[in-house]
Structure formats: structure tokens, C-alpha cells
Amino acid sequence: MGEKSVKNTFPVFDTLKKVFGFQSFRPNQEEIIQSILDGKDVFAVMPTGGGKSLCYQLPAKIMKGTAVVISPLISLMKDQVDAAVENGISAAFINSSLTSKETASVFHSLRNNSLDLLYIAPERFAMPNFIETLKAVPISLFAIDEAHCISEWGHDFRPDYLSLSNITETFPQVPVAAFTATATQRVQNDIISKTGLRSPFTVRASFNRGNLFYRVESKQELMTQVLDILRKYAGEPGIIYRTTRDSVAAMADMLTESGIKALPYHAGLSQEERKKNQEAFNRDEVHVMTATIAFGMGIDKSNVRFVIHADLPKNIEGYYQETGRSGRDGGPAECVLFFGRGDIPKIKYFIDQTPDDRERAVAMEKLNQMVKYASHNVCRRRQLLEYFGEDYKDENCGACDICTGTVDKIDVTTDARIFMSAMSRTGQRFGIMHIIDIVTGADSKRIRELEHDKIKTYGAGRDKDKHHWRFIADELLAQDVISQDGDRYPVLKLTEKGKRALFGSENISALKREGPKKKQRAARGGAFESYDKVLFEKLRVLRKGLADEQKVPPFIIFSDKTLHEMCRRYPASLPEMAGISGVGNAKLERYGEDFIRSIKTYLNENPDISVPAEYSYDNPAKPADKIKGETIEKTYALFSQGMSVEEIARARNLAQSTITGHIEQLIMDGRGLDIDRLIEPQKREDIGKLFLTLQSWQLTPVIEHFKGTVSYEEAKLVRVCMRRGHG
């Protein structure tokens, strides 16, 4: 390993504050970052929302060369790059969504050593020509995201990842950091072996997502059950997972008919439609996305408030990863699984199509673990953590349906024997619903034809409804008293334990849940502090407008968590805004004044509101307004020397949108700038006429009118000139 080489003089904590806007690290981040800076390999298992992207983005900003991030989630790359650029990091991606011209532009930036971060798919790394390109430029580090994809024991194995085993041999002096959110100890060992990590610094963070509430419900009237949850989270973003494309499409259609903005996302849609639907969700234009479990979804959206699994997942790793897409901002979120045993044979059918005996056995083992999670009345959090080898010591997690519900241990021996007797007397050749019909005394044609109305236990349980007997069946299955045999039409069989209970003296008890004790408690550590909800809505509208102008999702401008802090502290100056978590220097320059103006207007309209005295601002050592003044002056000096916006951005290692923002401010300040250098007179005149015709300063209608021949930066410059009286 070579010694680290640093391109910035920022210490680690300065970079954390000035670039990312955070005052402190989350658990494990500082140790991982320091190991990378020291030139060591890293292997980190960090739960979704644990801040793993900062672990390679911060070193990428400090170290010389380009950090190459390898990720299979093509749909996520643009959001990740946009978020990095918003923080003032020079970033780009190369994948199949780019045109050849766009790809060539990224390669040009790479060869010119002007990229801090480059995101690529594993298929790209496997190309020999690409490897040769990387050999010719300084590389600071390799970050492998979703590293479990390299392991055949992982839940999402991808053969293209196997090419990554060549990294350490091809680039022996470059540190390699592998990250995953889901890995058992067995998968962890396999990843380290296959990637060839060299005595890596290893972090296995807790899998406990304290802000997530886990709940399992019996699947009955599914659409009604789903709508009940969506009413609870009206207007909040959420994801619904289904097993098949048809069920995804049907769910989206039914929700739309019910007045809920929802869109589908599955592999059967064209790439263009998937991209369009995901962008609509990310940009808060629709509230609910329905997606296939198998296809998954690359989502970096921080404020997802609920995830619903309307069908049984195939394994716990996938379930944990999918539920982890909620509550990434640290706020409370709910994860609901609707469990019906009818889902089990459907999954078994597909498992049985697997030709490899070992793969089939592994898949069945994982399915059985998933069924156990859904059917056992044991703390959901404890079961998840134990699966990943983590011991959960609390008696009550306070954030799952088991721990917050009233649970009574009841004796069900008599009813269990009635049910098993009906199974035995009918030759153990029938499924759950037929046995329930027998014990409840259903008068059906099939029962009469089979003469099952003549057996001793016919109608023996008619004093209880079918829901009770379904509960008995599920408990007996969960306790391995009975089992299901067969694929499409599974029949019930007595196990050895069941035979002892039916013919011997062994008693059977069950845990009966009667629902929540009072009101469902928020997940531990996940409740947002109180904030001004009226101001939050105003800032959310402002954020959406800015995001639309930048063509990025709103959460990339500022997260909900950052807006909530603004709505508690009411920052009224740039130094105060700089003290808000998530507001780094680049975002302060770009958006600080807009949000301060909105907050001041709100406070003027509501004079009774006072800023809480307990909030004191951690102003940066250098006042933010001074920083802003100095950096604008640098842009002015370079522009006066004849440099273009693109050249200034490259020279100053800032986004072009940031430089455009500086020029806007210079124009508003009345500085003498040659506008013709920025935009040709005829184009400026055409844009100005359209603004007058529309009688609106909104940019989106202008961009749409000119069908891409006018950029947002050009429209913004014309707008500021007209406002100043130059246009």
C-alpha cells in the first residue's frame, strides 16, 4: 500500500463541516475514513441510512486523484452524483444511460484529473480498455458498493461482480473499500476473499435500525388493508412491494383509482418509463411507488415514511434491505408485511425450477427463515438481528407489533386436537381451508361429496369463526406441529411433534395478540423533534421549486431533517444558516439567501413567534457571509480576465450552477458584466419576450417552450438581467 496523498489542506473535520455541513460523524464513519486516508483496505457492513456514502466521498474530496465507485444501481447513480455536485464535489458517472457524447465528456474530465468521484457499473470495470484508461490516471481509492453481489451466498449475486477480484492485483497501491448493508458472517468472509482485500480494517455496524417500526399482519382484504395505511400517511412518500409485475401494475391502478398518486416500477417497463416513474417519485410528484421484490429499486430518497410488503419476500436479507429504504433521514418510519401462507407455494414453485441442488437447498432454507419471521410471535427486531448474528439484549424493543401489543399466552390444546383430528380422519390429504370448513361445519357440495360431514370432528368448532381457526392453523405450522407438503396445492401433514400432541398428553399453547396497548409508539430514537409545520410546508414548496430548476430531486437540495432544523431554529443570517446540519459551504452559497428570505418573511408575518433561546449557533471560524463575499469576488476576477463559466467552474473545482449563482448576484449588485459573453443577444431577447408573455418568472415553462435549446443557467441569467433592468 502506498502512502496517502492529499490534494486539499482541509483536515477531516473541516471537510465534514464545510463540504457536507455536518458537525460530527455517525458511528464508525471516522474510523473508516481514517483507515482509507492511511491507505488501508476496508470492509464495512453498515445498515441502510448509516452514512456509508460519506465514508468514500469525504476521502475522495481530500485525496489526490479520482475515487472510483462501483455500484450495480444504475438508477441511483445520477442522484448520487447530483448530491455530490450540490456539495461542491466534482463527480460524474458512466453507464448505459449516457449518450456517446456525454460518455466522451466524462472520459475527458477523467483524463484531465478534474474528477473527485467517478461512479461506474461492474460491467464497465470488466472492460479491458477501461482498465487501461484507469491505469493512465491517478486513482485515489476504489469503493465497492453493494459488495454482497460478489457472493454466491448473498441474496443478490451478480456474476459481473466477480471481475472485481482483479482490483487489488491491477492497482496494488490503491486502497479498496467494500460496503454492504446486508451480510451474514458467511457472506462477509466470502466478500473479503473474493475481492482480495488485504488485511482490511473491518467494521460490522449494528443492524438495528431503531427508527423503524416492524409489523406483520395477516393478509386478508389486502387492498382495504393497504388503503388504511396510506390514509394514515396521506401525502407522505412510501413504497409497496409485490412479487409479480402484474400485481405491481394492478396495485398502482387500484391506488390511482382511489385518488392516490402512485406509479409502477418493474423490469417489464421500458428503461425510459422506469426512469420517468422513479424521477416522479424522487421529485415528490407522486407519493407511492409499487415495485417488484425481485427487480428491486435503487432509491436514495431520504424521507420514505413507510414500506409495505404486500407479498412474502423470498429471504430475510432482501426484506431487510427493502425495509431499509425507509427512514434514511433518521425519522420514524413503518415497515408492514402482509403475510398469507398462500404466498409460500408460489415462491416454492420458482425455487423448484432452480437446476442446481445446492442453490435450491439454500433458497428453501432462506424461505423457511422468512416464514418463521412472519409467523412467530417473537420480537421482530430480535429475529432480524439474530439472523445477522447480532445479540439483541433488550426485553422489549418498543418498536414492533409484538413488543407494543397485548400478548397473552393461552392454552389451545383442545382446538389444536380438533383441527389435527380433522386432518387425520381425512387422510392428511387436504389443505388449510378445507380442514377449516370441516371443523366449522360448512355445508358445501365438496364436503358432502367426500362425506366429510360424517366424520366425528365435523362442526366440532362451529362456535368459533374462521379467523380463529386460521390462527390455530398458523400457530401449529409455526410451532412445527403440522407441516405443509406440496407446491401449488399444499396439503397438511402431522409432524412427529403433532402426533405426540394428538395422541399423547402434550399440551399446546399459543401467544394471542390483541392489538396495540394504546397508540402505536414511534420507533425508538426515530421521532422527529417538534418543528414549525406551517413554515416547513413553505420551505418544502421553496425546495421543490429550486429542485425543479436544477432538475434534481428535492431531497438533494436539503433533506427533510435539515428543513425540520430550520423550522426549529429559524436561522435569519448566513452564519446562523451555516450552523444547520446538512448545510455545507456550497449549499450555503447556492441556497442560503433564498431560505433565509423565506424564513424572515414568515417571521414578519407571524410576529408572535420567537426563536427558542436554547438554540445557539455554531458559527464557522470564518463568517459565512465573508466566505460568500470572497468567493464571489474570485469568480468576478476570473470572469473579468475573460474566462467562461465552464472554465471558472473547472478552475475553482465548483459546479457550473454555483458559478452561475455568483454571476447572478454580481448582476443584482450592479457590477459591470459583459452579458453578451454569457448568452448571445438574439437568444436573450427571445427568452425575455417569453418571460413577458408568460407574465411569470418561473423557469420550467421557458425551458419546455424552447425544447432544450435554452439551459436553466441561460434562463436564470436573462431573468436576473430583466429584474435588474438590463434586459
Which residues are paired to 510 by β-bridges? 410
- State the Cα–Cα distance between residues 469 and 472, nearest whole angstrom: 5
- State the Cα–Cα distance between residues 483 and 524, nearest whole angstrom: 37
Helix (H) or strand (E) holding 556: helix 554-557
The CATH topology of domain 528-621 is DNA polymerase; domain 1 (1.10.150)
Query: Are the C-beta atoms of residues 255 and 229 closer than 8 Å to each other?
Result: no
Nearest to residue 494, comparing CAs of 510, 477, 509, 508? 477
What CATH number is given for 212-405 in this structure?
3.40.50.300
- State the Cα–Cα distance between residues 367 and 140, nearest whole angstrom: 41
From the DSSP assignment, how many helices (H) and strands (E) are in the chain? Answer: 33, 17
Q: Strands (DSSP E) along 125-261, which ranges?
A: 139-144, 176-180, 201-204, 212-218, 238-242
CATH 1.10.10.10 maps onto the chain at 413-507
Q: What is the mean pLDDT of each run of 10 residues along the chain (727 residues)?
A: 48 88 87 94 84 92 94 80 89 88 91 92 85 93 88 71 84 93 83 90 89 91 93 91 92 92 90 86 91 67 92 91 87 92 83 86 88 86 90 88 77 93 94 94 92 94 91 85 77 91 84 54 53 91 88 89 92 88 88 91 84 51 46 84 82 72 80 82 89 77 78 81 68
Which three cell numbers, joined as nine digits, stand for 415?
382446538
Nearest to residue 286, comparing CAs of 274, 295, 278, 294? 278
pLDDT the model gives residue 183? 77
- State the Cα–Cα distance between residues 725 and 431, nearest whole angstrom: 80
- State the Cα–Cα distance between residues 171 and 177, nearest whole angstrom: 13
Which three cell numbers, joined as nine digits, stand for 596?
433565509
Which three cell numbers, joined as nine digits, stand for 86?
450540490
- State the Cα–Cα distance between residues 434 and 280, nearest whole angstrom: 46
Which three cell numbers, joined as nine digits, stand for 346?
408460489
Cα four-point dihedral sign 543, 546, 550, 551: positive
SS3 169: helix
CA angle (52 as vertex; 177, 67 as ends), nearest 5: 45
Q: H helices of 172-301, where?
A: 185-195, 222-232, 245-257, 271-282
- State the Cα–Cα distance between residues 547 and 557, nearest whole angstrom: 7
Phi-psi region of 420 (alpha: psi -120 to 50; beta: other; left: phi over 0): alpha
- State the Cα–Cα distance between residues 379 and 391, nearest whole angstrom: 13
Q: How far is CA 121 from CA 574, 691, 724, in A?
A: 39, 42, 46
Q: How far is CA 467 from CA 226, 228, 470, 517, 657, in A?
A: 19, 20, 5, 21, 60
- State the Cα–Cα distance between residues 569 and 691, nearest whole angstrom: 36
Maximum alpha-carbon separation in the chain: 100
Which three cell numbers, joined as nine digits, stand for 275?
426512469
Q: Which residues of 424-446 are buried (b: 16+ CB within 10 A; e: fewer)?
A: bebeeebbbebbbbbbbebeeee
- What is the CA 143 to chain-centroid distance, rounded? 19
CB 719: neighbour CB atoms within 10 A?
19
Domain with residues 413-507, CATH architecture: Orthogonal Bundle (1.10)
pLDDT the model gives residue 2? 43
Q: Which residues contact 326 (CB under 8 A, 6 or more apart)?
A: 212, 238, 239, 304, 305, 306, 307, 333, 334, 335
Per-residue pLDDT tens for 52-74? 899 999 999 999 999 999 988 77
pLDDT the model gives residue 286? 92
CATH 3.40.50.300 maps onto the chain at 12-204, 212-405
Q: How far is CA 246 from CA 131, 251, 265, 318, in A?
A: 41, 9, 11, 20
- State the Cα–Cα distance between residues 624 and 618, nearest whole angstrom: 11
Placement of cell 473541516 in the chain: 14
CATH 1.10.150.80 maps onto the chain at 528-621
The CATH topology of domain 12-204 is Rossmann fold (3.40.50)
Per-residue pLDDT tens for 234-267? 888 999 999 889 999 999 999 999 999 999 998 8
- State the Cα–Cα distance between residues 93 and 514, nearest whole angstrom: 51
Nearest to residue 164, comparing CAs of 177, 182, 155? 177
What is the side-by-side strand order in the sheet with 91-94?
Answer: 91-94, 117-120, 66-70, 139-144, 176-180, 42-45, 201-204
pLDDT the model gives residue 134? 93
CB 495: neighbour CB atoms within 10 A?
15
pLDDT the model gives residue 716? 80
Burial (CB < 10 A; 0-12, 13-18, 19+), residue 575, is buried
Could you tell me the pTM of the whole model? 0.66
Burial (CB < 10 A; 0-12, 13-18, 19+), residue 245, is middle
